[in-house]
A and B are shown apart, each in its own frame.
Chain A
Amino acid sequence: MNGATILHFVFGRLGFHWLPFWDMLQEPTKAHIVNDSIATFAASLVLFGGALTVLLITWFRAWGPLWSKWLTSVDHKRIGIMYIVLSFVMLARALVEAALMRGQQAFGYGGGFLSADHFGQLFSTHGTIMIFFMAMPFLTGVINFVMPQQIGARDVSFPVMNSVSLGLTAAGAMLVMISLVIGKFSTGGWSGYPPYTENTFQPGVGPDYWIWAVTLSSVASMMTGINFAVTIYKRRAPGMSFFRLPLFTWTALCTSILMIFAMPPLTVATALLALDRYLGFHFFTNHLGGNMMNYANLFWLFGHPEVYILILPAFGVYSEVFSTFSGKTLYGYVSLVIATMSIAVMSFWVWLHHFFTMGQGPAVNAVFGTATMLIGIPTGVKVYDWMLTMYRGRVRFTVPLVYALGFIMLFVIGGLSGIILANPSVDYQVHNTLFLVAHFHNMLVPGLLFGMLAAYHFWFPKAFGFRLNERWGMASALCWIIGFMLAFFPLYALGLLGYPRRSLGYFDPIYTPYMEVAFAGAWVILAAFACLFIQLFVSVRRRREYAVPAGDPWDGRSLEWSLPAPPPEYNFSVLPQVTGRDAFTRQKEDGTAYQLPKKFSDIEMPKNSAMGMITCVGGFLMAFALVWHMWWLLILGSIGVIGAMIGRGFARDTEKIIPAREVEREHKRWLNEVAATSPVTREREIDPANVGLAAHPLMQAAE
């Protein structure tokens, strides 16, 4: 065995030529210099960001608390917060990539400054990150934090598995980040269609990075779906029947059902592609019996329910936001529930509309086209219900409501463009043009992203005990709304003018003005994102002024607002008895809120566990090994992860007891704090006087 073989065994196909500045050094043409400089800068940011994080943690001596309070925590609230932190980091990267692409296309007449390969990687990472490492973690984090509190539970059904899901998602995100430093990413888009992503056309590491990142994320989401569904089925507080659940929990339930059933086809699609690439199978190859159209079929079997996974939690957030900030019960509760369930069920029979042009006959297209139009109806019902919730309410223009209003106006436009696309004949004209790109961004940005940002603003006080600064929040919301319109409305026109998606540049100057407007929009969006960071910075600086320890800054309606802010690890000192919808509002009106329970019991909670971290590191190492063909590392990683799983089975001492007197002490301390504050009316909602105790209108009237 000579030196070369040993090197090859240890390092797989790692090599210096995979570094981002290599081409530039080998052959310093203008194109190489521009593209490689951008790539190297990005790689440096990753390394610098990682190093800075390690340095800061060390400086503040935070490794211990980081490990014991966060990384090994199985508390759904902490896990939820970590998911959201991850998604904000990934959002930053994906937004920069988007701005780069807008810039390239604004200067794209005659070529632009990016190479085709670089542009290909940009749209692929942008899409992959936004869906799998921004949107999914964000909504998973929000549901994780909020849902157990809303149903009156102490935690999710499987806390350790919750931590494992987070670990796997983080591993996938790290894989995508490391692809900036070494190797290239796939240029096959976030959907990764073969045969382009087969070995014949892309023998490098790109598609492999994509496959394993997506696999890690999809396995994590499948486990999350199981966790959430079982929690909602089995851990509701006494009296919390299904038709008394808050709407956000209903959407969380439907989302989790979609996760359970939609992730498997994705796992299969990427696994089959991996078999083709690694072992020479013929699922999707051009020859020897491959059927590449099955990939599109399998991918979209996942892909369509996926977009409903993305949007349903946002719908849930809007339901909470509209009712809370109109001071009214949600209008048409039953119709909203039925609409949510219909959307979930119908999402399984429309997937072909993503490939109307693939060659099937008109009958097949017509069936799926009709089904696609039908699925727009329940969403319409929801929009009317939300509007009717606001009607005759006392509407307060807080940041979450501004996001919600932006959503109502913009999402409807996007939905209409969807109904247009649902017609196969029309779709043949605009499929894979920027019209389509405009449509789905119109759904995702005002739909999903605004919903998540509204959720962030809405539940932040509950998570951390202080509100966010309203001014910077408003600035951010308005910049998002305006920026979105500037960045994406021109794309509708561009698509109708024939501009294909994922296209580097153009030779017809008619596109340029639209591209320039879109580029301006990208800057406004970057400004919106900057406002978010400034908001956080300012809010942390002024946290004493914005503190809301009593826990109910918005005069909330559901059970999570009946808890202190931040809530104790076990959420409820005594599990609540639910008698109807809007459970906390009921309590405030009945005068049964903020009561001292007669009896406290010991509370059994799960102990911390390192399983999440083990699967995170193990998963990352296994994926990295698979990408770079380092088989020894793959085996080691697998043994580690499997060993940990088997070892966990032998664990016996996994619960801890929180004694009743400690629970009682905490509860009394909080009640004393509540008693010492004065309730505020909604006029002073964003005043420092709001310490989290609401003067509920009916309570006032009673006095």
Chain B
Amino acid sequence: MSGVENSSRRDRSGGFKDLLWGLGVALSLIAVEVALGTLSGEAPAPSQADRRAEYRRELRTYIVGFVLAILLTLVPYGLLYWSVLSRFGLLLAIGAFALVQGAVHLRCFLHINPPRQNTDDLDLVVFTSFVVFLMAGGTIWILGNLAARMH
């Protein structure tokens, strides 16, 4: 849309600076947090080696999830900002990245892990997705049909 193109042409350098700034914030946050993690002394007593390994594994999951999420955020914003794709392609990409990032959140932050997950919880997520699909999809289909017939 013209608004975005104008702004990107006008302050491309300014926009790029914003992006770098944002990245810098994110990276320093990661650095701070990893540092805090190892320095805060919250790692368990050395005698429980298994527990320590588990702690490191969980910490890594969070960090990996965070980094992935940042990347999966940066790319769609970037794709919009630099207008590289057609409108349809852009929408598809945005949707795809959103779904993947949602999955990353579910896996890394919410620890929903299909192979090992308790069936009750997985059933619930699957059924909810099914209902969401019916309700949102149905609404869009029906109202879209009505809108088309009223033009």
Contact = CB atoms under 8 A, between A and B. Distances in A.
A496 to B, nearest CB: 28
B5 to A, nearest CB: 26
Contacts, number: 41
A360 B145 contact: yes
Given A359-B149, A359-B150, A348 B131 contact: yes
B146 A358 contact: yes
B150 to A, nearest CB: 7
Please provide the 8 A-B residue pairs with the shortest distance between their CB atoms, ordered closest to farther.
A360-B145, A261-B131, A364-B145, A348-B134, A360-B146, A361-B145, A301-B135, A349-B134
A352 interface: yes
A432 interface: no
30 contacts: A257-B127, A261-B128, A261-B131, A291-B143, A293-B143, A293-B146, A294-B139, A297-B139, A297-B142, A297-B143, A298-B139, A301-B139, A348-B130, A348-B134, A348-B135, A349-B134, A351-B138, A352-B142, A359-B146, A359-B149, A359-B150, A360-B142, A360-B146, A360-B149, A361-B145, A361-B149, A363-B145, A364-B141, A364-B142, A364-B145
A391 interface: no
Interface of B: 120, 127-128, 130-131, 134-135, 138-139, 141-143, 145-146, 149-150
Contacts of A360: 142, 145-146, 149
A265 B150 contact: no
Q: Which of B130, B131, B143, B150 has the most CB of A within 10 A?
A: B131
Interface string A272-315: 00000000000000000001011001100100000000000000
B83 to A, nearest CB: 28
A9 interface: no
A420 to B, nearest CB: 23
B17 to A, nearest CB: 37
B8 to A, nearest CB: 29
Contacts of A359: 146, 149-150
Interface in A73-98: none
Contacts of A384: none
Nearest to B141: A364
A233 interface: yes
A307 to B, nearest CB: 17
Contacts of A298: 139
Nearest to A359: B146
A16 B127 CA distance: 52
A361 B65 CA distance: 46
Contacts of B150: 359
A352 B146 CA distance: 12
A265 B146 contact: no
B18 to A, nearest CB: 33
A609 to B, nearest CB: 27
Interface residues of A, number: 20
A197 B135 CA distance: 24
Contacts of B131: 261, 348
Nearest to A291: B143
Nearest to A229: B124
Contact of A294 (B120, B134, B143): B143
Q: Which of B128, B138, B149 has the most CB of A within 10 A?
A: B138
A257 B131 CA distance: 11
A364 B120 CA distance: 34
Interface in A152-191: none
A358 B131 CA distance: 23
A246 B149 CA distance: 49
Nearest to B148: A361
Contacts of B128: 261
A243 B148 CA distance: 48
A82 to B, nearest CB: 30
Nearest to A301: B135
B133 to A, nearest CB: 10
A352 B141 CA distance: 11
Contacts of A361: 145, 149
B123 to A, nearest CB: 10
Contacts of B120: 233
Nearest to B132: A261
Contacts of B134: 348-349
Nearest to A298: B139
Contacts of B145: 360-361, 363-364
Given A233-B120, A364-B145, 4 more contacts: A349-B138, A358-B146, A360-B146, A364-B141
Contacts of B141: 364
A313 to B, nearest CB: 20
Contacts of B138: 301, 349, 351-352
A364 B134 CA distance: 14
Contacts of A233: 120
Nearest to A360: B145
A247 to B, nearest CB: 21
A265 B135 contact: yes
Interface string A342-383: 000000110110000011110110000000000000000000
A301 B136 CA distance: 10
Contacts of A257: 127
A646 B86 CA distance: 50
A298 B138 CA distance: 10
A360 B141 CA distance: 10
Nearest to B128: A261
Q: Which of A257, A291, A294, A364 has the most CB of B within 10 A?
A: A364
Q: Which of A257, A301, A352 has the most CB of B within 10 A?
A: A301
A255 to B, nearest CB: 15
A462 B76 CA distance: 62
Nearest to A262: B131
A302 to B, nearest CB: 10
Interface string A412-447: 000000000000000000000000000000000000
A442 B54 CA distance: 61
A364 B130 CA distance: 19
Q: Which of A349, A352, A360 has the most CB of B within 10 A?
A: A360
Interface string A555-572: 000000000000000000
Nearest to A352: B142
B147 to A, nearest CB: 8
A370 to B, nearest CB: 14
A347 to B, nearest CB: 10
A460 to B, nearest CB: 34
A171 B127 CA distance: 32
Interface string A478-504: 000000000000000000000000000
Contacts of A348: 130-131, 134-135
A261 B143 CA distance: 21
A293 B24 CA distance: 47
A342 to B, nearest CB: 14
Contacts of B149: 359-361
B50 to A, nearest CB: 29
